[in-house]
Amino acid sequence: MQTLSPLAPRRDFPALQARPGHRPPAYLDSACMSLVPRAVLEAQEEYYRDYPGCAGRSVHRWAEEGERHYEEARAAFARFFQAPGPRHLVNVRNSTEGLNAVAQGLPLRKGARVLLTDQEHNSNLVVWQRLRETRGIRLDILPLPADRPFDMEAYQKALGRRPALVSFFHASNLDGRTLPARALVEEAHDRGARVLLDGSQAAAHQPISLRSIGPDFYVLSFHKMLGPTGTGLFYIGPRDLETFSPWFVGGETVETTEYGSHALRPPPHRFEAGLQNYAGVLGAAAALRYLRQHRFEELPAHLAGLQRHLDRELDGLPGLTRLGPPRPQDRGAIFPFLLSGLSPEDVALFLDQGHDVFVRSGMNCVHSWYRARGLPGNVRASFHLYTGRQEVDRLVRGLRELRRRVPAPPAGRGPP
């Protein structure tokens, strides 16, 4: 029988230690932001303590040491995500910045089509709506099935409208489903479309090979994979690397300037304007080292075990509605649900104040999907390396107690 012990020890995460008047928290909001191990904090402190220089600008030892560590981190990112090489990886603040970079850098003209799913994060919807307003592009929305992660025939039909760009999540922050990324890319490329994948959730919970998937663009946020906030990656594939237009320019992006002209640096530096978040990038590299040391490759199986356990323990709870794919192994790190007669916010507050269980509530930055269905949002529990059966069982106990205190209303009455 699977023990469902955490893959990483809780003692490595300062935020998981007990506080005065509270038991150690059961942190089940990792899809929003993961926790940070001490190794990441120490890597950032080392930069500020030992070599706090401007990497790539000055020639003194601190600046040269900072530049060496910064570029070593980029090389480590390329190895971890199996990119064609470090020059394809641009350090950004988060996935949202990467999505905006594609929107600003691609020469999408009036009438060009962009294909999205109906579960895209606001960051992968609003940016294209703005281009519809300013450039006259067209948006096509692909509905996702409720009974399985993806419908390939519906996707192939949507590609028949000849989109210039397919911009999909790789794994959903709404219900955890993972899309068949490589097949999506191959189908799109066969019809002449570029592919942008939002890897915010996928990269945090499963090994990713950019070389194998073959997208034109890929974005991710390190704050979902044990790294610091304000750090992320933007991948540019071989087809566009040399011709892609920078979305910001200025210091660090140019080799030289004159009053009438300038010469850009080679990729990726032409895309990294201004002073960078050196400490954050080094912290992100430390986060990836930590993931490797703690069996990151086993995380998908661990998450599936937690999902199966949670399904069994909540089976028969009155008024519980699960969202997303019915099979536990198709939900990744995310367990979304509603309790009839209770708002998502009330459920989250009860779990926090009564059981020190932290979950997300609301529309999870996918307002369009919930509004189209008349839903107030949902409660979302989400897991990572440091999540084990103990935390899941605390969630179950809290929900059972809440249901005893507030019985489910008769069918057809109260919130869904």
Which residues are known catalytic residues? 365
C-alpha separations of 121 from 1, 32, 131, 172, 173 in Å: 37, 12, 16, 8, 7
Nearest to 123 by CA among 399, 393, 365: 365
User: Sign of the CA dihedral 169, 172, 173, 174?
Assistant: positive
Residues sharing a CB contact under 8 Å with residue 28, sequence separation 6 or more, in sequence order: 357, 358, 359, 381, 382, 383, 387, 391, 392, 395
Which tokens go with 295?
């069996």
Q: How many residues does the chain have?
A: 416
Burial 166-200 (b: 16+ CB within 10 A, else e): bbbbbbbbbbbbbbebeebbebbbeeebbbbbbbb
- Whether residue 348 contacts residue 359, with contact meaning beta carbons closer than 8 Å, is answered with yes
Burial 19-29 (b: 16+ CB within 10 A, else e): eeeeebbbbbb
Largest CA distance in the chain: 75
320-322 β-sheet, strand order: 320-322, 334-339, 378-382, 360-362
Which tokens go with 407?
């019985």
Residues sharing a CB contact under 8 Å with residue 411, sequence separation 6 or more, in sequence order: none
Which tokens go with 195?
């592919």
Neighbours of 304 (CB within 10 A): 18
